[in-house]
Amino acid sequence: MRILSVRERPEMCDAAIAYFQEKWASEESRMVYEDCIRMSLKSESPLPEWYLMLDGERIIGCAGLISNDFISRMDLTPWLCALYIEEDCRGHAYGSLLLERAASDAAAKGYDKIYLCTDHVGYYEKYGFEKIGTGYHPWGETSSIFCRKTGVLSPRVCLYAGSFDPPTVGHLDLIGRASRMFEKVIVAVMQNPGKKGLFTREERVELLEKCVKQYGNVSVLCDGGLTVDVARRVGAGVLLRGVRGEGDVGVENQLAAVNRMISGIETLVMFTDPKYSFISSSIVREALKYSAPIEGMVPDAILAEVYARKDS
């Protein structure tokens, strides 16, 4: 799963205009979206930002971060608007990823709070928003106004980052156990420049999504850079790490200490189920290299795809 800023990816401008118009515009308001999105590419102002969420090459969601959402509280800024997730992609907390991207960008632009106006009850509250009042629209309607701090990191959200090349039954074991402990689990496929990948990052996201379909509170994305920066972007207050044995403990202890020092984010270290303690992505790749069987090492849902990569 990828989230793109149209300002950072101007080649997506026309696609963004068409998508926002399809999901949000009436015949009378189509030019509002076209003009605003197109002009944002030339603006020296930090706002607006328009986001697209992509699954592969398919756009599956959108959101905006704007100075005012046609509401009377002109003293408040910025506003989250036009949040949308395709119906067949709901139930995986993808909307929260757009929320956190907008909040992270707002924080980077110097805003300590983010606002939205809505009549929905019970959704945004799960992600740190609180109702602060009522606003009035030019067309005579009212909406509830919600607010949250942009730097909120939830202890109920954990980030599990790794290369997952390929995903193993050990990875899936940790994800499943974490899904029972946390309100939301975000799996981030990271780029390791020191490793030659068996699968591309986008392919690994697709493989993981097939593996975690059974969990309604797990979402998968690809990202890069420092893990703690990814955690900030998605609002995760806990980092999840897995250890297979004593040899991993020292390394993970050091990594957890560094991450806590530079970000204040805590790490939860979980021991792999003993029956998976010998399994790693590198072991799977080595087995494939010499045509050894990998049944029981990778989830059944992706076994055929991993075998197919042996001869690619």
| Residue 258 CA, distance from chain mean position | 23
CB 207, CB 199: distance < 8 Å: yes
Collect all residues with Cβ–Cβ distance below 8 Å to 104 and sequence separation of at least 6. 150, 232, 233, 234
The catalytic site residues sit at 171, 195, 244, 281
